[in-house]
Homo-oligomer: A and B are copies of this chain.
Amino acid sequence: MLNETHNPELTSWVSSANEENTDFPIQNLPFAIFRRAGTNESFRGGVAIGEEVLDLAAAKDSGAFDGLALKALEACDSDALNDFMAMGKEAWSALRLALSQALRSGSEKQTLLESCLVNQDDVEYSLPCRIGDYTDFYTSIYHATAVGSLFRPDNPLLPNYKWIPIGYHGRSSSIDVSGQAFKRPKGQIKAPDATEPSFAPCKRLDYEMEVGIYIGKGNDLGEPISIEAAEDHVFGLCLFNDWSARDIQGWEYQPLGPFLAKNFASTVSPWIVTSEALAPFRASWTRDAADPQPLDYLESENNRAQGGYDIELEVQLETEKMKQAGEPASHLSLSNFKHSYWTVAQMVTHHTVNGCNLMPGDMFGSGTQSGPEHKEAGSLLELSRGGKEQISLDNGEKRTFLEDGDTVIMRGWCAREGAKRIGFGEVTSTVIAAD
């Protein structure tokens, strides 16, 4: 539902928010948890506006807000957004509208809020919320087919794929925010021709370009969320890099799924772009007539009309050599979340249809968002066709999988005629050598 906060003509008295290619115009207003870098300040909620962060703890005390928006700001004065996320859609919307009005060009609140801004260059982020449970889905049929053909050449796409939004439980403790550096994992690896596994550092280390989905309001155990209600439970989306150790995965994942291949690190972008900010960028969702149509519980008119999201997703790689030479990162792929075989609403509804309870701050990964074309693949496993083809980087270096010192940079943005472009910022993270 579009409202005055989406008006593409709106500008802000924060001038950097009005620049053409900013990720954070006044139509976006994404949330993070931040503090001034290198200080002992408490982490607290912030909203991005141009190159600034609006400090929500300071905004709460500024006198510029009242009513439900003020209550929402009180919940944001915390080192995690869970309480705000739990307040639900009405509170999220009230705060968005109040922030939009207060940050607009000509707002009389400008004088109250100018001192609440901190430049993004001067801050550090933490996780935006306590992620109680993290579930990873597998919603790109292109990724599922490409990966399946590597692990199961004769049976790439399993018969359940077109019926079930396949998902599995992931590890919450090792999720960190952009900037995470992690050691190359070690583990059991068995070469296809070896008779026994050996213990070694991962040789097939990979990223996965995913969209992260944050649950706002939860549900009680035993009370499924219908597909009609599903979107009211989605607080917002982020960028998500689900690091993967392909050689560990190949040996361990049968029969209970990936485990140590995934739980050594996962990285989210600092900013959560809210569901409401994404309203102008919804996409219709269709299912090929030749494919099975969803069972009733996964089907709704609204889901068909606008269940998808039109979000561009780019991956870049910055190697150690590039850093030393001051060269720019090299482009690896560009994909779009609209290619997803299942929608966010379908993920929420499927996850709860057995009575499973979701909690505010829980996160879903969308699964690697590979598009239909090879250049749209969201992982090196796919881009290198299982490690068989080298990928050439802009500076002449080659990669099949990641090397120590490699930094993976993911960016996301929404751009459509008639709407103001909004961005997700970026998620970056770096591989360091195994001990």
The answer, yes or no, to whether A87 is at the interface (CB within 8 Å) is no
In the bound complex, what is the Cα–Cα distance between A259 and B254 (angstroms)?
14
The answer, yes or no, to whether A378 is at the interface (CB within 8 Å) is no
Query: Do residues A171 and B353 form an inter-chain contact, with CB atoms below 8 A?
Result: no
Query: Do residues A354 and B167 form an inter-chain contact, with CB atoms below 8 A?
Result: no
In the bound complex, what is the Cα–Cα distance between A186 and B171 (angstroms)?
25
Contact with B along A232-272 (1 / 0, CB 8 A): 00000000000001001001111111111001110000000
The answer, yes or no, to whether A185 is at the interface (CB within 8 Å) is yes
In the bound complex, what is the Cα–Cα distance between A176 and B292 (angstroms)?
37
Q: Which of A38-46, A49-57, A77-85, A157-165 contacts B (4 or more CB under 8 A)?
A: A157-165
Query: Do residues B354 and A186 form an inter-chain contact, with CB atoms below 8 A?
Result: yes
The answer, yes or no, to whether A287 is at the interface (CB within 8 Å) is no
The answer, yes or no, to whether A359 is at the interface (CB within 8 Å) is yes
Least distance between A221 CB and chain B CB atoms (Å): 6
Q: How many copies does the complex hold?
A: 2
Query: Do residues B362 and A173 form an inter-chain contact, with CB atoms below 8 A?
Result: yes
The answer, yes or no, to whether A216 is at the interface (CB within 8 Å) is no
Query: Do residues A354 and B163 form an inter-chain contact, with CB atoms below 8 A?
Result: no
Given A187-B354, A263-B354, A355-B264, the answer on whether A160 and B254 have CB atoms closer than 8 Å is yes
Tally of chain A residues near chain B (CB < 8 A): 66
Query: Do residues A221 and B257 form an inter-chain contact, with CB atoms below 8 A?
Result: no
Least distance between A250 CB and chain B CB atoms (Å): 10
Q: Nearest chain-B residue to A144 (Cβ)?
A: B255
Least distance between A237 CB and chain B CB atoms (Å): 21
Given A132-B132, A133-B171, A164-B188, the answer on whether A199 and B296 have CB atoms closer than 8 Å is yes
Least distance between A65 CB and chain B CB atoms (Å): 32
Find chain B residues with CB under 8 A from A256 CB: 136, 138, 166-168, 253, 257-258
Least distance between A214 CB and chain B CB atoms (Å): 15
Query: Do residues B185 and A354 form an inter-chain contact, with CB atoms below 8 A?
Result: yes
In the bound complex, what is the Cα–Cα distance between A158 and B252 (angstroms)?
10
Query: Do residues A297 and B199 form an inter-chain contact, with CB atoms below 8 A?
Result: yes
Find chain B residues with CB under 8 A from A196 CB: 163, 292
Give the residue of B183, B245, B292, B358 whose beta carbon is less than 8 angstroms from that of A173. B358
Find chain B residues with CB under 8 A from A185 CB: 354-355
The answer, yes or no, to whether A182 is at the interface (CB within 8 Å) is yes
Least distance between A14 CB and chain B CB atoms (Å): 36
Query: Do residues A133 and B355 form an inter-chain contact, with CB atoms below 8 A?
Result: no
Give the residue of B138, B173, B358 whose beta carbon is less than 8 angstroms from that of A356. B173
The answer, yes or no, to whether A169 is at the interface (CB within 8 Å) is yes
The answer, yes or no, to whether A174 is at the interface (CB within 8 Å) is yes
Find chain B residues with CB under 8 A from A264 CB: 221, 354-356
Least distance between A428 CB and chain B CB atoms (Å): 17
In the bound complex, what is the Cα–Cα distance between A172 and B359 (angstroms)?
10
Q: Nearest chain-B residue to A169 (Cβ)?
A: B169
Contact with B along A216-227 (1 / 0, CB 8 A): 000001101000
Most chain B CB within 10 A, of A151, A167, A172, A354, is at A354
Query: Do residues A353 and B132 form an inter-chain contact, with CB atoms below 8 A?
Result: no
In the bound complex, what is the Cα–Cα distance between A176 and B169 (angstroms)?
18
The answer, yes or no, to whether A152 is at the interface (CB within 8 Å) is yes
Least distance between A334 CB and chain B CB atoms (Å): 26
Give the residue of B148, B166, B260, B351 whose beta carbon is less than 8 angstroms from that of A350. B260
Find chain B residues with CB under 8 A from A356 CB: 171, 173-174, 260, 263-264
Query: Do residues B257 and A255 form an inter-chain contact, with CB atoms below 8 A?
Result: yes
The answer, yes or no, to whether A2 is at the interface (CB within 8 Å) is no
Find chain B residues with CB under 8 A from A172 CB: 132-133, 172
Least distance between A360 CB and chain B CB atoms (Å): 11
Query: Do residues A355 and B151 form an inter-chain contact, with CB atoms below 8 A?
Result: no
Leading 6 A-B pairs by shortest Cβ distance: A257-B257, A185-B354, A168-B256, A169-B169, A256-B257, A264-B354
A-B contact pairs, 16 of them (CB 8 A): A160-B188, A163-B196, A164-B197, A168-B168, A168-B256, A168-B257, A174-B357, A182-B222, A182-B355, A183-B355, A199-B353, A253-B255, A256-B257, A256-B258, A260-B354, A264-B354
